[in-house]
Structure 1
Amino acid sequence: MAPKLLVVHVLHWITPIAIGTTFGIGRLVAFCKLQRPSRCSRGSAKSRQFVSVTLSVAVLLLFIAQALGYALDQFQGLNQRDVTQDIQVYVGGSIFIWGTVAVHLLGKSKRIWHPYVAAWIMGTFLEACVFSTGHSSEAGNLHSGLDSALHICRIVCLSALACSGLCFSVGRQLLQPRADEEHRPLLISGVNEGHATIVSDHDDEDDEHCPVIEGEDGEPDRTKELKEKQRKRLQECGSWMAYLKDFKLLAKLAWPSGDGSAKMCLTILFMVILADRALNLLVPRQLGIITDKLWSAHETGEIPIKEIGLWMLYVWLNSYAGLHAITQFCQLPIEQYAYRKIGTTAFGHIMNLSMDFQSNKHSGELMAAIGQGQHLYRLCEFVFLDVGPMIFDLVIALVYVTLLFDASITLIMIMVGVGYTCVGTKTTSWAMQRRRRYNQAQRNESKVQNESIGNWQTVAYFNMADHECSQYSKAVDEHNVARSRYYMVHYAGYAAQNLILLLGQLSAALLAAYRVSRGAAPVGNFITLVTYWNTIEAPLTSVSFSVRQLSQMLIDSERLLELLRTQPSVTDRSGAKPLHFKQGRIEFDNVRFAYDVRKTSLDDVSFVAEAGKTIALVGETGGGKSTILKLLFRYYDVSSGSIKIDGQDIRNVTLNSLRAAFGVVPQDPSLFNASIMENVRYARLEASDEEVKEACRAAAVHDRIISFPDGYQSTVGERGVKLSGGELQRIAIARAMLRNPRIVLLDEATSMVDAETEAAIQKAFQRLTRDRTTFVVAHRLSTIQDADLILVVQNGQIIERGTHEQLYTLDGKYTRLWSKQLSKQTAQI
């Protein structure tokens, strides 16, 4: 082959590849770096789009005209020009590339232009090279004059596109006024009717690559919040690569770094994946070899035993009885490791978060976050075991089919893949609104159902069962209508995608059959292609699904990432030591604290609780009594001042040793949905049954428990709902007694019991608090008359202090509280 002709052949091959690569890389970079369209007037954007679309379509039509000329030549049997493989690739690939560019130019007038300008410049240069090197050798050809005219017209159009793109860019830089605060729009986000749209400080039409996240109608607020946080984090990171770096935390949790057996399974799994990729190729190839052997041994009686045996070996290895079984067995330990690691890490993190987080938590949301987090091992598995092999299969398919026949069939495969993906994207966009309505109707049905069942007593009280059934029936009908409308579009899109696959398979089969009939390929190659096509279809059908699934996994992982990034506000300081408990002397020194910086909860609280004494906190609701106990238990850290136990600042001791010293009876105790024996023993897991019963006797609840049909094995229901208020509180007291604490905290511990039971509990308290420092929060002043020190708390300050007798003689706030309660009790009598 002459050197000049060789150069022409090489240019034919690289021209569509180089242009397509340039355009694809430009768009990929714009997407990954979250680049935004440039600002320009709407009229300028429209004119630029019109020029670009018109000239791009002209280039496309010129290539189609050249292809039709070649086809007409072959159809008429002129054969005066051999349409070689490089020409097929050049013309067919160019039609595909410029058609893709033209399609992308349709629609929005404001976009990121540099991928298009780069493709036009590259196209102008390469088309000029092809024309200049190949024109002289084609001068004597029948169609050389027409080809030259078409070629010159394409160069002119591409040059005009490149020049216009550059001129528009330069002109925009020169003419665009500098944006300042006066010209910046006041409103930077808007809400469309039907669904919220989160936008940046630029027109929503500007977004081509910068992700704009649209909230579905009725979408849960938490999901909208997570999507908004994802959008903000993307903008802060500046690119998708920087954004995805945060997910290395999940990758570390899912990676079996501490499990030898899981590591071995992972190694085997990677080897099986590579073998599976090879088998996808070897099975159809071996079938083609068998076909060629049978064709050559026609009517000879010879059977290709070896080839058939090898084919069956490949089929067996590629089946669920072969390597796929090994894959399942190897995935199980890896999944279990990741499931356990992620779940326990998330659960432990939640349990160690501070009170400020726990006070604002949504339990259902946290449980959903843990549940989703435990399944986020699928994110790594999906990327490395699904997406990776899928891309690898596509690359192998393109290379192998090219070697098997030629690049024409490879081009058909690429066109089928792009067409399949584009149709899937468009149909998904069309179905989006219907999907929103379907989701809203589904949630509405669930809402009606849950509210009616959850409020059964209210329904029964007002005899509204028929009304609720009617409401639910209406919600079901709306759900069915919305579901049918959505799935009709979904199924239509699915049918269109499958039609593209069938047309692509038909085109490839016809072209392969043509090559075989011309003697350019053996019959076995046709059989190989037909059987290999299913392997080609699998990754194509997974592309759009994979993108959606990966996007959803990233959104779901935002919940877990946000949770793991939340740090407790109360932690062990560096160098913290265990609490060295001596006598139990507690000192509050100028303590200030605020839940919210805008309002102080405690202000300059100072007092000393001597060891073994009982300190009572009284006052109106919301005055700060329970806050004092929370600070002592170190649910929160003081804003200023200090709290000391036996001279040790509680911020300098470990949380575990501090809290191990306390026994707490809260105002609203909560039990696990387990037996009474298990709930009381929770305070000290090694306690015997007799010790549990003794604690219950001390709390005056033993006789009540043994009257239950199942006694101590009676389950108490969720949070103890099967028990009365008094029973619940006495069991909580028994639990505190069993703990045998050094410091006792009683927060309204007798608020829900009758007078007779209260008297029995007071005797139990005397045993519990003997020689122990005790804090009592009480509204019933009669229960704290014997306290060694009574603190009257009002608006976060201690306004009075002393014993009952001392405070009563002051005729102050305590006296007024005592008089009100005494008058109320007298009136009740």
Structure 2
Amino acid sequence: MGKILKTVTQASLRKAIGVVHQDTVLFNQNNKYNIKYGRINADDSEVILASRSADIHEKILTFPQQTILKSPQIVLLDEATSALDTSTEHFPQSFMLDEILVLKDGGGTGSMGLLNNLRTFLWIKIQQYTTRTIEISLFAHLHSLSLRWHLGRKTGEVLRVMDRGTDSINNLLNYILFSIVPTIVDILVAVIFFMSFFNWMFGLIVFITMLLYIFLTIAITEWRTKFQRRMNLADNATRARSVDSLLNFETVKYYGQEAYEVQCYQDAILDYQKEEFQSMFTLNLLNTAQNVIVCVGLLGGSLLCAYLVAYGKDGEKLTVGDYVLFATYIIQLYVPLNWFGTYYRQIQKNFVDMENMFELMKEEQEVIDAPDAPDLVCSRGGIDFSNVTFGYSPEKTILKNVTFNVSPGKTIAIVGPSGAGKSTIMRLLFRFYDVTSGAIVIDGQNIKTVTQASLRKAIGVVPQDTVLFNQTIKYNIKYGRINADDSEVILASRSADIHEKILTFPQQYETQVGERGLRLSGGEKQRVAIARTILKSPQIVLLDEATSALDTSTERNIQAALSRVCANKTTIIIAHRLSTIIHADEILVLKDGEIIERGRHEFLLEENGLYAEMWNQQLKNLEGEKLRDEKVFEENSSSTAPSHHNYHQ
């Protein structure tokens, strides 16, 4: 951090600054005295070296050589060469001026700084466009992938890959356009300079040094790539672990496993840091090797220069000033060369960081619309499953030749033990997967031949586990139809029997529901889902065990709202509680992927098959729960009743 000039000693301040005036005033002493005034304790060899650097060794002019001798951190040049002729002025300016500062009307602007700022300003739009295009393309691609892929993904890992990939592309373009190309130009100009102003041997030394430097940089960087890849994988795992733990914080709290989660996260970080250490260690190894090559090149050039100074023949003999100039230039040359190595490492790192993103982009869509696929025309909502066979993997078939028909406006229920394939039927109807064989037809149109968007627009669903966006209640209800107005949202809420409840919240419809809707109760979330489906107004409604997670009283209240959703709609109900589907026009009993019974509730009870067995079992469970509730009530009543002894007191 910088210091205010008023807070430091004047002596230390002025010691750090050198100045070359337009009008040079010397002491009435000899040249050595005036030169040594830059640093009083300098010896004669340093005076000569400074004089050679100022190109006045042969003839000392009234030029303030003491600035070079002083070696300050800051140099002020007050029109230092304005009194010189053009040819004399050219040499000192050629290595003194790295940047021009223009002062006008009391204001100052750096021309190089101005150009850099202009470049940065122009680059902002390009960078934003690149980032926006890549992120939107990747985000759209992820949403186009199948349910199979999403069920297997790790959210935190995917987000980390997206962040790292987009950042890497921006960095890559920036390095190539504004760093690598200028650095290569600097290096080429330096080689040509040494070959032209010294001799070919200096150019050869510089060329060989650069060649070895670049070769070593590329070779070791390629070797380091595997460590960077492993570090990225560990980074992905760390992000995935943290996101997974935070998303399931309720489960963590239920089981009191906070310490375990912290330990798991710590283990993930340690795994990452282990890979990071290997990456950083090899980076330091590369830097050491680069410095060795630079030092060897500088030593070789210095030895050659020293030889030509001491023993060079006419035409090749160099002066001490030439040696100083050579050393200065070659050190300046290695600065861009070192940056070249840094940029190459960064570019290679960015390529590695982009690998995971490109792998995501290469993920193929499992369900694809035909190029000329028309929209589904769903006027009535009739559904036909014809010999549908499907398996999530070739080794295991879930549905086997399933055939059934749902007439427009009718209700069909699907029941059966867990793993029978009930939810799979709903996923196939939404075309999350394509059937292995057979066909699913809606109003005479095979769903494989129509667009997925139009198919899903015609179907509404109330799932068992309603997951809401971390937005307002209004936002979640309007998700059923984004362009709906507030009056339609309120009407849907009234139909779902949740409007009055929403009005009791402090922000009413603007109330935030929290992540996954955790601020709402189970019944409230189900009613929001019902309102969303009512607002969508689909021809087909799917109820996926929509009330199985609710208590009996809440379930009865929601059943009334569900009946309004399904009124005059083609409805498929997947049910666990059989009491909720006794009104269905037809009930399908599914077992091991096959329909083993079908019919109305009364008919299936008379058949005395699996459905009757499930019904009787649930009746026993209900009777057992009722008896337990009555017993608990009696025990509570007897324990709270006052004794006769208390009355007599």
Inter-CA distance 528–774: structure 2 relative to 1 (3 Å threshold): farther
Provide the residue aligned with 1:400 in structure 2: 193
Provide the residue aligned with 1:355 in structure 2: 147
Identify which of 71, 94, 100 aligns with 1:316: 100
The one-character-per-residue Cα deviations of 1:253-278 (angstroms, maximum 9, x if unpaired) are: xxxxxxxxxxxxxxxxxxxxxxxxxx
Q: CA RMSD of the aligned region, Å? A: 4.5
Inter-CA distance 296–788: structure 2 relative to 1 (3 Å threshold): farther
Describe how 1:454-603 pairs up with structure 2 within 5 A.
Answer: 494=287, 497-498=290-291, 500-502=293-295, 504-505=297-298, 507-508=300-301, 511-512=304-305, 520=316, 529-603=326-400
The one-character-per-residue Cα deviations of 1:500-521 (angstroms, maximum 9, x if unpaired) are: 5356446535645765786646
Letter in structure 2 aligned against 1:367: L
CA distance in 2, matches of 1:470, 1:637: 42
Describe how 1:818-829 pairs up with structure 2 within 5 A.
Answer: 818-829=615-626
Report if aligned partners of 2:228, 2:349 keep a CA contact under 8 Å in 1.
no
Provide the residue aligned with 1:679 in structure 2: 476
CA distance in 2, matches of 1:476, 1:373: 21
Inter-CA distance 368–826: structure 2 relative to 1 (3 Å threshold): same
Provide the residue aligned with 2:161 in structure 1: 369
Provide the residue aligned with 2:607 in structure 1: 810
The one-character-per-residue Cα deviations of 1:153-198 (angstroms, maximum 9, x if unpaired) are: xxxxxxxxxxxxxxxxxxxxxxxxxxxxxxxxxxxxxxxxxxxxxx
The one-character-per-residue Cα deviations of 1:555-601 (angstroms, maximum 9, x if unpaired) are: 22221222222221111113211111221111111111111111111
The one-character-per-residue Cα deviations of 1:387-412 (angstroms, maximum 9, x if unpaired) are: 34433433332222111211222233
Describe how 1:611-760 pairs up with structure 2 within 5 A.
Answer: 611-760=408-557
Inter-CA distance 684–297: structure 2 relative to 1 (3 Å threshold): farther
CA distance in 1, matches of 2:573, 2:230: 55
Identify which of 108, 118, 127 aligns with 1:326: 118
Report if aligned partners of 2:146, 2:367 keep a CA contact under 8 Å in 1.
yes
Inter-CA distance 573–554: structure 2 relative to 1 (3 Å threshold): same
Secondary structure (helix, strand or coil) at the match of 2:412 reads: strand
Deviation at 1:824, TM superposition (A): 0.9
CA distance in 2, matches of 1:569, 1:535: 57
CA distance in 1, matches of 2:421, 2:251: 37
Report if aligned partners of 1:672, 1:718 keep a CA contact under 8 Å in 2.
yes
Kindly tell me the number of residue pairs found equivalent between the two proteins: 541
Inter-CA distance 552–474: structure 2 relative to 1 (3 Å threshold): closer
Inter-CA distance 608–692: structure 2 relative to 1 (3 Å threshold): same
Inter-CA distance 340–487: structure 2 relative to 1 (3 Å threshold): closer
Letter in structure 1 aligned against 2:99: V
Inter-CA distance 601–431: structure 2 relative to 1 (3 Å threshold): closer
Report if aligned partners of 2:221, 2:345 keep a CA contact under 8 Å in 1.
no
Provide the residue aligned with 1:387 in structure 2: 180
Report if aligned partners of 1:789, 1:802 keep a CA contact under 8 Å in 2.
yes
Report if aligned partners of 1:699, 1:733 keep a CA contact under 8 Å in 2.
yes
For structure 2, the 5+ residue unaligned runs are 1-50, 64-80, 102-109, 627-649
Letter in structure 2 aligned against 1:298: L
Letter in structure 1 aligned against 2:401: D
Inter-CA distance 352–489: structure 2 relative to 1 (3 Å threshold): closer
CA distance in 2, matches of 1:577, 1:447: 39
The one-character-per-residue Cα deviations of 1:519-572 (angstroms, maximum 9, x if unpaired) are: 646998667645543442134213543444333333222212222222211111
CA distance in 1, matches of 2:334, 2:393: 59
Provide the residue aligned with 1:336 in structure 2: 128
CA distance in 2, matches of 1:804, 1:661: 28
Inter-CA distance 663–293: structure 2 relative to 1 (3 Å threshold): farther
Deviation at 1:752, TM superposition (A): 2.0
Deviation at 1:484, TM superposition (A): 9.3
Q: Is 2:61 the partner of 1:298?
A: yes
Report if aligned partners of 1:733, 1:749 keep a CA contact under 8 Å in 2.
no
Provide the residue aligned with 1:99 in structure 2: none
Deviation at 1:425, TM superposition (A): 8.5
CA distance in 2, matches of 1:461, 1:725: 21
Q: Is 552-561 or 812-821 further displaced after alignment?
A: 552-561
Report if aligned partners of 2:379, 2:539 keep a CA contact under 8 Å in 1.
no
Secondary structure (helix, strand or coil) at the match of 1:683 reads: coil
CA distance in 2, matches of 1:431, 1:326: 36
Q: Is 2:614 the partner of 1:778?
A: no
Secondary structure (helix, strand or coil) at the match of 2:100 reads: helix
Letter in structure 1 aligned against 2:581: I
Secondary structure (helix, strand or coil) at the match of 1:321 reads: helix
Deviation at 1:614, TM superposition (A): 0.9
Provide the residue aligned with 1:82 in structure 2: none
Inter-CA distance 614–378: structure 2 relative to 1 (3 Å threshold): same
Which has the larger share of helix?
1
Q: Is 572-581 or 773-782 further displaced after alignment?
A: 572-581
CA distance in 2, matches of 1:361, 1:298: 77
Report if aligned partners of 1:610, 1:773 keep a CA contact under 8 Å in 2.
yes
CA distance in 1, matches of 2:599, 2:383: 17
Deviation at 1:498, TM superposition (A): 3.7
Report if aligned partners of 1:346, 1:373 keep a CA contact under 8 Å in 2.
no
Report if aligned partners of 1:294, 1:303 keep a CA contact under 8 Å in 2.
no
CA distance in 1, matches of 2:548, 2:485: 29
Deviation at 1:495, TM superposition (A): 5.8
Report if aligned partners of 1:584, 1:772 keep a CA contact under 8 Å in 2.
yes
For structure 1, the 5+ residue unaligned runs are 1-287
Please report the TM-score for the alignment, with normalisation by the length of structure 1: 0.57
Please report the TM-score for the alignment, with normalisation by the length of structure 2: 0.71
Inter-CA distance 785–289: structure 2 relative to 1 (3 Å threshold): farther
CA distance in 1, matches of 2:140, 2:173: 22
Report if aligned partners of 2:157, 2:237 keep a CA contact under 8 Å in 1.
no
CA distance in 2, matches of 1:471, 1:588: 47
Letter in structure 2 aligned against 1:352: S
